[in-house]
Amino acid sequence: MTDVARTAGVSVSTVSHVVNGTRRVAAATRDKVHQAMGLLGYEHNPIARSLAAGSNRTIGLALTAASNPYWVDLVQGIDGEATRAGLNLIIVDTRDDARHEAVAVANLLAHHIEGLVIAPSDDWRHLTLPLLRDHPVPYVIVDRIDPDLRADQVGVENEASTAAVIDHLISAGHTRIGMIAGISGLATSAERLRGFRNAHHHADLAIDPCLIVEGASTSEGGRRAALALLDLPEPPTAVFAANNDMTIGALAAFKAAGIRVPRDLAIVHFDDFAWADLFSPGLTAIAQPSAAIGARAVQLLVRRMTDREAPPQTIRLPAEIMHRESCGCPPRT
């Protein structure tokens, strides 16, 4: 900026006001500054400026950029709380792939972020976690809680809510309940599977291993898993889909097969979404407080940025069962 000021014949403060827009500058003077910037190849670098000031007030968010409404609501909660805390937010897509995740996080670290919120991939301990340990940047795990890791974490109560909705199906008379499970290796997938098993155990009901099919946490995976369940010699009378993307795929498979929900087969799922009650029948679902989870993650991160020695916290927010018609029961008021 000193070189630009010398070339333009103005003060350094005038150059600063032009590049930062902090004060009105006469058009002729502004043009001289821009000409000098072009001549010298000067580019305004806000990161360098923030480093000189000792803080850039920027945090990173690393998660899969899937179109699942859960992630959209989570990001809104994170962004809203970050704004309230006076923080800027940079979002990167991990694609739920460990190698891509490590590269994305490395790019965030190169931008000198002051903190990170991450929804880790299934194999993040081998690449991304060592990267974070090599860089003293505070981080918070969101959604996919790792009980063996001493770190700030926030997510929903997966096991109890899954067990509750499966118990509801069992109490309605279902003894063969299929499960379309999420990506193996993810904490959320494992917790929801444990909830599914726990409900059967408490009801003293055996589980046919053929009734648990992985749906890759995607709509297409859910469709294939649903077809696999329908092809069993003794198909289930009810199905639990472990996220909303897989639910959409399962419903498509049922429709193509001429299955009427809930007359021929009941379905319930994890992750309520805005139009679930507009389906016919309305979908019985477990609703996560996704925006609240995102906001709480930022609050934990701000606390960690302020006090590096604070004991780590793991927070689980309760889920809510939205009772509609797809489980085969009339909706409750």
**Within-domain flag for 331:** no
Quick: pLDDT tens for 248-306: 999 999 999 999 999 999 999 999 988 787 788 999 999 999 999 999 999 999 999 99
Pairing of the two strands 320-322 and 284-287: antiparallel
Q: Which CATH number is 140's domain given? A: 3.40.50.2300
Quick: pLDDT tens for 60-106: 999 987 667 888 899 999 999 999 999 999 999 999 899 999 999 99
For residue 233, give the H/E element and its range.
none
Question: Are 184 and 225 part of one and the same domain?
Answer: yes
Question: Are 146 and 200 part of one and the same domain?
Answer: no
Structural contact between residues 198 and 163, judged by C-beta atoms closer than 8 angstroms: yes
Total-model pTM: 0.80
Question: Are 272 and 171 part of one and the same domain?
Answer: yes
**Within-domain flag for 219:** yes
Mean pLDDT of 143-164: 96
Question: Are 68 and 120 part of one and the same domain?
Answer: yes
**Within-domain flag for 333:** no
Residue 165 has pLDDT above 90, yes or no: yes
Q: Residue 136, SS3?
A: coil
* Domain encompassing residue 23: 2-44
**Within-domain flag for 51:** no
Question: Are 255 and 235 part of one and the same domain?
Answer: yes
Question: Are 18 and 35 part of one and the same domain?
Answer: yes
Question: Are 303 and 242 part of one and the same domain?
Answer: no
Q: Which of 115, 112, 128, 127 shows the shortest CA–CA distance to 54?
A: 112
Structural contact between residues 33 and 14, judged by C-beta atoms closer than 8 angstroms: yes
**Within-domain flag for 180:** yes
How many domains does the chain contain in total?
3
Q: Degrees (nearest 5) of the Cα angle 18, 22, 28?
A: 35
**Within-domain flag for 222:** yes
**Within-domain flag for 325:** no
Q: DSSP string spanning 49-106?
A: HHHHHT---EEEEEE-----HHHHHHHHHHHHHHHHTT-EEEEEE-TT-HHHHHHHHH
Question: Are 183 and 64 part of one and the same domain?
Answer: no
Torsion of CA 93, 96, 99, 101, to 10 degrees: 40
Q: Which CATH number is 37's domain given? A: 1.10.260.40
Is the four-CA dihedral 183, 189, 190, 195 of positive or negative sign? Answer: negative
Question: Are 207 and 225 part of one and the same domain?
Answer: yes
d(CA 180, CA 212): 6
